[in-house]
C-alpha cells in the first residue's frame, strides 16, 4: 500500500479586481473555502502583491488511490473555474 501525492498548479488572473485589497479578499476566501471543502493543502505564489498580475495556487492532495487524488484535484479546478476568474492549470501527479 502506497501513498499518492497529487499536485495541481492553477494560474489565476484578476482582470476585474481593482485594488490589491480586493484581490487579497478574493484569494483568502477562495483558499479557505477550498481547504475546508476538499481537505487539501493550498498555497499561493508569485506576483500576488500586484493586483493585475497573475497568481499561482499550488494545490496538493494526498491519498492511497490515484483515482481519488485526481478526482479531488479535478473538483478543486471546477470549483475555482466556477468563480469566473481567468485561469489555466498544470498537473503534476
Query: The whole model's pTM is what?
Result: 0.78
pLDDT of residue 32: 92
Q: Where are the domains of the chain?
A: 4-92
pLDDT of residue 53: 66
Cell numbers placing 39:
481537505
What SS3 class is residue 2?
Answer: coil
Cα torsion at 50, 56, 61, 66 (round to 10°)? Answer: 170
User: What would the pLDDT profile of 21-42 be if each residue is shown by its tens digit?
Assistant: 777 888 888 899 999 999 999 9
| Tens digit of each residue's pLDDT (9 = 90 or more) over 32-89 | 999 999 999 999 886 655 555 678 889 999 999 999 999 999 999 888 888 755 555 5
Question: 4-92: what CATH class?
Answer: alpha beta
Amino acid at each position: 500500500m502506497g501513498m499518492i501525492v497529487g499536485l495541481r498548479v492553477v494560474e489565476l488572473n484578476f482582470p476585474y479586481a481593482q485594488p490589491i485589497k480586493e484581490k487579497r479578499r478574493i484569494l483568502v476566501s477562495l483558499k479557505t473555502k477550498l481547504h475546508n471543502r476538499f481537505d487539501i493543502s493550498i498555497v499561493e505564489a508569485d506576483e500576488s502583491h500586484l493586483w493585475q498580475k497573475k497568481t499561482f495556487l499550488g494545490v496538493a492532495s494526498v491519498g492511497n488511490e490515484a483515482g481519488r487524488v485526481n478526482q479531488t484535484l479535478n473538483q478543486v479546478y471546477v470549483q475555482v473555474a466556477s468563480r469566473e476568474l481567468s485561469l489555466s492549470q498544470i498537473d503534476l501527479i
